Amino acid sequence: MPKKRKHTSTGASVQHLDTDHTSSSPSKHLNLSAYHPDLDLASFPASSQSLYRSLLPHSLVHPSAFPPKLLKYWRHRHSLFSLYSSGCLLDEQSWYSVTPESVAFRIAKRCATDGVIVDLFTGAGGNAIQFAMTCAKVIAVELDELKLNMAQWNAEVYGVKDRILFIHGDSLQLLDTLLTWRKQSPSISHQQDEQVWNGIKSSDLDAVHAVFLSPPWGGIDYAQPTTTDQNPDTTSTSTSYSLTSIQPVDGATLFSRVCQAFHTTNIAYYLPRNTSLQQLSHLALQLDRPCKLASSTTQNVNHNNNLKVEYQYVDHGRKLSSLTAYYGALATDWDDSTDDWRQT
Ligand code: MGP
Alpha carbon dihedral 174, 176, 181, 183, in 10-degree steps, equals 150
Which amino acid is it at 71?
L
Ligand 1 centroid distance, CA of 217 (Å): 9
- Using the atom order of ligand 1, give the atom closest to the CA of residue 223: 2
Q: Residue whose CA is closest, atom 30 of ligand 1?
A: 97
Q: b/e per residue, 51-82, with b = 16+ CB within 10 A?
A: bbeebbeebbbeeeebeeebeebbeebebbbb
Identify the residue whose C-alpha is closest to ligand 1 atom 21: 97
Beta-carbon contacts of residue 84 (< 8 Å; ≥ 6 apart)? 36, 77, 78
Mutate to test the pocket of ligand 1, among 321, 323, 324 (most ligand atoms within 8 A of CB): 321
Question: Residue 14: pLDDT above 60?
Answer: no
Section 76-104 average pLDDT = 96
3-state secondary structure of 269: strand
Cis bond upstream, residue 67 (ω within 30): no
Question: What is the per-residue burial (b if ≥16 Cβ within 10 Å, else e) of 252-270?
Answer: bebbbbbbbbbbbbbbbbb
pLDDT at 221: 85
Residues having CB within 6 Å of any atom of ligand 1:
96-100, 214, 216-217, 220, 222-223, 270, 321-322
Q: How far is CA 223 from CA 237, 242, 319, in A?
A: 17, 10, 14
Ligand 1, atom 19, lies closest to the CA of 97
Segment among 55-69, 158-172, 260-274 with least mean pLDDT: 55-69
User: What atom of ligand 1 comes closest to residue 99's alpha carbon?
Assistant: 20
Residue from 97, 105, 121, 142 whose mutation best tests the ligand 1 pocket (most atoms within 8 A of CB): 97
Average pLDDT over residues 140-154: 98
* Greater model confidence, 230 or 135: 135
Percent of the chain with pLDDT strictly greater than 70: 79
- What is the average per-residue pLDDT within 13-34? 44
The most confident of the ranges 50-64, 186-200, 292-306 is 50-64
- Return the ligand 1 atom nearest residue 320 CA: 8
pLDDT at 313: 95
State the pTM of this model: 0.87
- Predicted pLDDT of residue 138: 98
* Count of other CB atoms within 10 angstroms of residue 24: 8
Stretch 313-324: mean pLDDT, rounded?
Answer: 93
Residue of 96, 99, 320 to test ligand 1 pocket, by largest number of atoms within 8 Å of CB: 96
Give the model's pLDDT for residue 192. 75
Q: What is the Cα–Cα distance from 240 to 274, expressed in whole angstroms?
A: 5
